[in-house]
Amino acid sequence: MKKLLTKKIVIPVFLSVLFITGSAFKNDFFEIAKQIEIFTTLFKEVNMNYVDETNPADLMDTAIKSMLQDLDPYTNFYNEQDVEASRINNTGDYTGIGASVLTLKDKLVIIEPYKDFPADKAGLKAGDEIIKVDNTVVADFSDDAGNLLQGTAGTTVEVTYVRQGKTHTAIIKREAVEIHAVPHFSMIDDKTGYVVLRKFNQKASTETINAIRTLKNEGAKQLVLDLRGNLGGLLNEAVNVTNIFVPQNQLVVTTKSKVDKYNKTYYTQKEPIDTEIPVVVLIDGRSASASEIVAGALQDLDRAVVVGARSFGKGLVQRPKPLVYGTQLKITISRYYTPSGRCIQSLDYWNRDEMGKATRVTKDNYTAFKTKRGRTVYDGGGIQPDVELGITKLSPITNAIVNENLIFDFATEYYYSHQVTDLKTFELTDADFKAFKNFLKSNNFTFETKTEKAFDDALTVAREEALNSVIDAEYDSLLKALNTYKTEAIDANKTQLMGLLAEEIVKRYFYREGMYAYYIEHNTEIKKGTEILKNPSTYLGYLQ
C-alpha cells in the first residue's frame, strides 16, 4: 500500500514540474495540477477495484484519444509504430513490399502496387485482399496489420490473399522503397511542361527543381504544377517549392499562436530557379496544408494562375513532441496565414454548433484581402482558385461513391473482365457507364443527403409534438422528390464519374505512369491550364 501511495504523490508532482516550465501554462498551473491528481487517483482506483479485470494500457489509450478528440483531428497521440510511419511519410523511404495498402478490420487491401517493386514482381494486383501475413491472421491482429509487411531489406514475407474469390499465396522479398515526391513530369506539348508534386517530404523541392530543369532543357517555356490530391507535409519544403518561382527574402507564410515562440514568419532563403516562367497551379478539395501554402503564396504574389476547386482548408500547424517509451504527441500549435494575411483554416473546432460539429465561415462572412498587384482575394478557408472548374469539385453523390470504394471495386472487376493493351485507344463507353450503375445497384449503394437528414430530424420533432399526421403526406411527397433526384444525380454526374473510373482503370493496366500519360490527353484541368498558358494575354489577365 505504501508503494501505491508513493506513486500517487510522485506522478502528479513530476507532471506538475513539467507543466510549470512552460510559460503558456503558468496561469492555469493550479487547475492543471489539480486535474492531473484527480485523474491519477481515479485511474488507480479503477484498476484496483473494478469488478472485472482491466487492461491499464487500453484504458489509458482510450482516455488519451477521448481527450484529444475534443480538440481537432490533427492533434494525435502516436505509439511507437505511428512514429515510424510518420518518419516514413516525411523521408519517403522505407523497407517493405512496395505497395499502397488499405488496412481494414479483417484484411489488407492492395490499393496500388508500385511498378517493379516487390509486390508487383510477386504478381500482386490492386484489389487483392491479404488475409494472412506469415503465420499471423490479419483479423486476429489488434494493431495496424500493415506494419507486418515491413521488415529488413532482403528478408521474405509470405502473404495469403484472396483474388476474385480464390485464395492464393505469394512469397515476397522485401526491398528498400523510395516514394518520390514528384512521381511524374513530362512535356504536354512542345512548350508546356507538366510536374506532379504528390507530397511535401524531405525531397519535395529537390525533385521539383530537377524536374523543372529537365523540362526546361526539353524546351518548356511554361509550366503546369499539379498539386491535386497533395495532402501536404513539411512546412520548410512548402517554402522551398515556392522559392523556385519567387525571389529570395520573400514572405511565404506566417504562423500565429498563443505561444510567442510559435509566432513565426517564413521567407524564401535561396536564389530562385525562374521568376518569369508562366505557371498554372492545379488544386482540388484534397490539396491541403503545405499545398495550400504554395498555392496561396503564388496566388497572393500574383506569380501563378490557380485552377481547379477550392482547396481543403487545413491551416493548422502541428509539431511533434516526444513523450516517454518512444511515443509522441503531434499537437496543433498555430495557424497558417498567406502573404496577404488570409487564414487557410476552414473549420473552427473551438466554436462548434449545437450538434458538436466544427463550424465553417459562410460566404457572407468572408473577408477581402489584396494580392501584391491589388487583386481581391478572400479567406473563408482553403484557397479559392482564380479559375474554378465545376468538374474538379466532387459532388455529394460522387463523394459518397468514392468514400465507399465503389469506383475502386468496379475497376477491379473491370480489370478481370476486359483486355486493354493500348493506352492510346482506351476509352470508356456508355455501356461501361450503364454497367457501373448496375454495379452500384448490386452493391446496394445509397446515400443520405443533408436535406434528407434535415427532413428526418424535422419529422422526429413533429412526432414528438403530435404534428406528424398533418405533414405525413407532404413528407412522403418530399421523399419521392429526393429519391428521384438521387436517381438522376448519377446521370447528372456522368462526366465526373467517368473521369474517375477511367483514371482508376488505366492505373490497373499501365500503373501510375500510364495514368499521368492518360491525364495529359484527357484531363479537363490540365487542358484548361494549358489553354490559359497558350494565350499570354489571358494568362496575364488573371494576374492583374
Let me know if 289 is a catalytic residue: yes
The answer to whether residue 306 sits within a structural domain is yes
* Averaged pLDDT for residues 262-270: 97
Please indicate, yes or no, whether residues 442 and 338 belong to a single structural domain of this protein: no
The pLDDT-based confidence of 293 (bands split at 50, 70, 90) is very high
Give the active site residue among 107, 132, 203, 314.
314
| Grid cell digits, residue 247 | 525571389
Please indicate, yes or no, whether residues 322 and 338 belong to a single structural domain of this protein: yes
Helix ranges, 259-364 (H): 290-300
Q: Does the pLDDT at position 174 exceed 60?
A: yes
* Averaged pLDDT for residues 512-537: 96
Cell numbers 502496387 correspond to what residue?
A: 113
The answer to whether residue 406 sits within a structural domain is yes
Q: Does the pLDDT at position 25 exceed 60?
A: no
* Averaged pLDDT for residues 255-271: 95
Q: Does the pLDDT at position 4 exceed 50?
A: no
Q: Does the pLDDT at position 332 exceed 90?
A: yes
Cell numbers 507532471 correspond to what residue?
A: 15
- Pairing type for strands 136-137 and 222-226 reads unpaired
Please indicate, yes or no, whether residues 295 and 331 belong to a single structural domain of this protein: yes
The answer to whether residue 78 sits within a structural domain is no
The last residue of a domain, from among 115, 149, 178: 178
The pLDDT-based confidence of 30 (bands split at 50, 70, 90) is confident
Q: Does the pLDDT at position 12 exceed 60?
A: no
For 101-115, the pLDDT digits (tens) are 999 989 999 999 999
Q: Does the pLDDT at position 7 exceed 60?
A: no
Q: What is the pLDDT of residue 354?
A: 78
User: Which domain CATH number covers 336?
Assistant: 3.90.226.10
The answer to whether residue 6 sits within a structural domain is no
The last residue of a domain, from among 392, 418, 453: 392
Please indicate, yes or no, whether residues 371 and 247 belong to a single structural domain of this protein: yes
Q: Please state the domain count of the chain.
A: 4
The answer to whether residue 257 sits within a structural domain is yes
Between residues 214 and 464, which one has the greater pLDDT? 214
Let me know if 393 is a catalytic residue: no
User: Which domain CATH number covers 144?
Assistant: 2.30.42.10
Q: What is the pLDDT of residue 462?
A: 64
Query: Which contiguous run of DSSP H or E holds residue 212?
Result: helix 204-217
Please indicate, yes or no, whether residues 386 and 408 belong to a single structural domain of this protein: no
Kindly report the pTM of this predicted structure. Answer: 0.85
For 43-89, the pLDDT digits (tens) are 999 999 999 999 998 898 889 988 998 899 999 988 777 777 777 66
The residue segments making up the domain with residue 134 are 93-178
Please indicate, yes or no, whether residues 412 and 271 belong to a single structural domain of this protein: no
The answer to whether residue 17 sits within a structural domain is no
The pLDDT-based confidence of 26 (bands split at 50, 70, 90) is low
The answer to whether residue 21 sits within a structural domain is no
Over pLDDT 70: what percentage of the chain?
88
> CB of 221 within 8 A of CB of 212?
no
Please indicate, yes or no, whether residues 363 and 504 belong to a single structural domain of this protein: no
Q: What is the pLDDT of residue 381?
A: 87
The Cα 79–Cα 61 span in angstroms is 10
Q: What is the pLDDT of residue 185?
A: 98
Q: What is the mean pLDDT of the chain?
A: 89
* Averaged pLDDT for residues 249-266: 95
Q: Does the pLDDT at position 311 exceed 90?
A: yes
Please indicate, yes or no, whether residues 366 and 433 belong to a single structural domain of this protein: no
Q: Does the pLDDT at position 9 exceed 50?
A: no
The answer to whether residue 416 sits within a structural domain is yes
Q: What is the pLDDT of residue 452?
A: 63
Please indicate, yes or no, whether residues 484 and 521 belong to a single structural domain of this protein: yes
Q: Does the pLDDT at position 13 exceed 60?
A: no
The pLDDT-based confidence of 155 (bands split at 50, 70, 90) is very high
Please indicate, yes or no, whether residues 218 and 253 belong to a single structural domain of this protein: yes
Q: What is the pLDDT of residue 197?
A: 98
For 475-499, the pLDDT digits (tens) are 667 767 777 777 788 999 999 999 9
Residues 6+ apart with CB under 8 A from 329: 75, 76, 77, 78, 320, 321, 323
Give the active site residue among 186, 205, 289, 346.
289
Least confident of 276-290, 320-334, 350-364: 350-364
Q: What is the pLDDT of residue 423?
A: 96
> CB of 20 within 8 A of CB of 31?
no
Please indicate, yes or no, whether residues 253 and 368 belong to a single structural domain of this protein: yes
The last residue of a domain, from among 346, 362, 392: 392
Please indicate, yes or no, whether residues 430 and 508 belong to a single structural domain of this protein: yes
Q: Which CB contacts under 8 angstroms, 24+ apart, belong to 129-137?
A: 129/161, 129/162, 129/163, 130/101, 130/159, 130/160, 130/161, 131/106, 131/107, 131/160, 131/161, 131/162, 131/167, 132/159, 132/160, 133/108, 133/157, 133/158, 133/159, 133/160, 134/158
For 183-233, the pLDDT digits (tens) are 999 999 999 999 999 999 999 999 999 999 999 999 999 999 999 999 999
Q: What is the pLDDT of residue 214?
A: 98
Q: Is 233 exposed, middle or buried (0-12, 13-18, 19+ CB in 10 A)?
A: buried
Q: What is the end-to-end Cα distance of the chain in Å, rounded? A: 76
Q: Is the dihedral of CA 172, 83, 100, 113 positive or negative?
A: negative
The Cα 513–Cα 511 span in angstroms is 5
